[in-house]
Amino acid sequence: MSKLFPLKGCVQPYAWGGSSFIADLIGYKGNEKTIAEYWLGAHANAPATISTPQGEKKLDAFLLENPLLHLGSYVQNNYKRLPYLFKVLDVKDMLSIQVHPTKKQAEVGFEEENKKGIAPDAATRNFKDDNHKPEIMVALSEFWLLHGFLPEVALLQVLKDNPEFSELISIFKSQGYKGLYQTVMEQPQEKCNKQLRPLIDRILPLYEAGKLDKSSPDFWAARAASSPKDSQTIDKGIYSIYFFNIIKANEGEAVFQDAGLPHAYLEGQNIELMANSDNVLRGGLTPKHIDIKALMEHVKFEATIPNIFSGDESNNGMEKIYRTPVKDFELSKIELPALQSYETQCETIEIILCIKGKVMLTEGGKQLTLEKGASALLTSGAHYKITSESAPQLFKASVPE
């Protein structure tokens, strides 16, 4: 029985996405004006499709047919399902300020909302499933994001440098990160408008004149304020832009974000691998549901020192493994020099996505050609080989041994 299958993902036409990157990558011909994400996984909201000798099947249904055979004993014993969700993202407009729950928090929150009778697809629902959502991203371009609270000295300097935040200095000194964040997030909208309006009036002309750098919170705050929406209501997410680290990852660099770490993607394209979940608690820069009480219960109120890393070389330098402390997934990048081959055996289930070039996958007696944007599924125990005459780039999602 073959363990190699062609795999086709699902596009997500969220409003913040770009108009061409993902469509060009996968050769998509749909009518969506924006495509923000491309999902390769078995999440119930958008399962990928595999081609089998019996016809096309949704990946979640296929895995349920024989979980032990397809997933492997480790995954079957520990997760009972595909433990990860593999994505490509194209961020044109800023995403929401957000945080993800721990596994225990997700289980409790999901059960509580079920008991309340909140529909699974309700706009007011916080917990779409019972899983945590740690995630790693690898930049495919220059990529900008917000990532955790600034160190204390740096945040205090931000409060001092911006006269609109002067009254927050004493709160931060006496009540720390939680007191500061709670103060601004629980502000009446009228108070928020009054406090931030002078700031917006000061930075917006500089942004429109092209005088702000992307490393400055002024740039992103002005961009958020310039978005076409109710100009009388200033988004509280602008506070987070000033309170969080603003970091840039260059192509090939990775950033890991665990439960409780507040963050937001700002601009660029990336590969993302996460636990198989869609749980998001939002704190601004979005028209979607915001639950301040739930947000505050899940944020880690501590300084974050950003760690931008490039992965560990493996397989004679052909593979870079982006290791994280999470056991649900492992992301790696495979770059083959011309006329060389990559060979391995997967103990658990793997997904391979071709970003550049063209390769031949061989498993048992089956061969499959992957070109730019194409992907494949390899089930547990597959012993496979990748060959190419060019210099392709692939990303692999797997479960650490």
Dump the DSSP string for 204-245: HHHHHTT---TTSHHHHHHHHHHSSS-TTS--THHHHHHHEE
List Cα–Cα distances, 320 to 80, 143, 281, 330, in angstroms.
28, 19, 32, 11
Catalytic one of 81, 125, 197, 282: 282
Place of tokens 């692999």: 396
Q: How far apart are CA 350 and CA 237, in angstroms?
A: 37
282 is catalytic: yes
At residue 185, what are phi and psi to the nearest 5 degrees?
Answer: -75, -25
The angle subtended at Cα 372 by Cα 370 and Cα 375, nearest 5°, is: 50
Q: Tell me how crowded residue 88 is: count the other CB atoms within 10 A of its CB.
A: 26
Query: Does residue 180 contact residue 171 with C-beta atoms inside 8 Å?
Result: yes
Place of tokens 């108070």: 191
Q: How far apart are CA 337 and CA 253, in angstroms?
A: 20
Q: How far apart are CA 328 and CA 255, in angstroms?
A: 16
Q: How far apart are CA 306 and CA 326, in angstroms?
A: 18
What the block records as the tokens of 187 is 């502000």
Q: In Å, how far from its chain's centre is CA 348?
A: 23
Q: In Å, how far from its chain's centre is CA 146?
A: 12
The helix/strand/coil state of 174 is helix
Q: Report H helices in 79-188.
A: 103-115, 152-161, 169-185
- Residues annotated catalytic, as ranges: 282
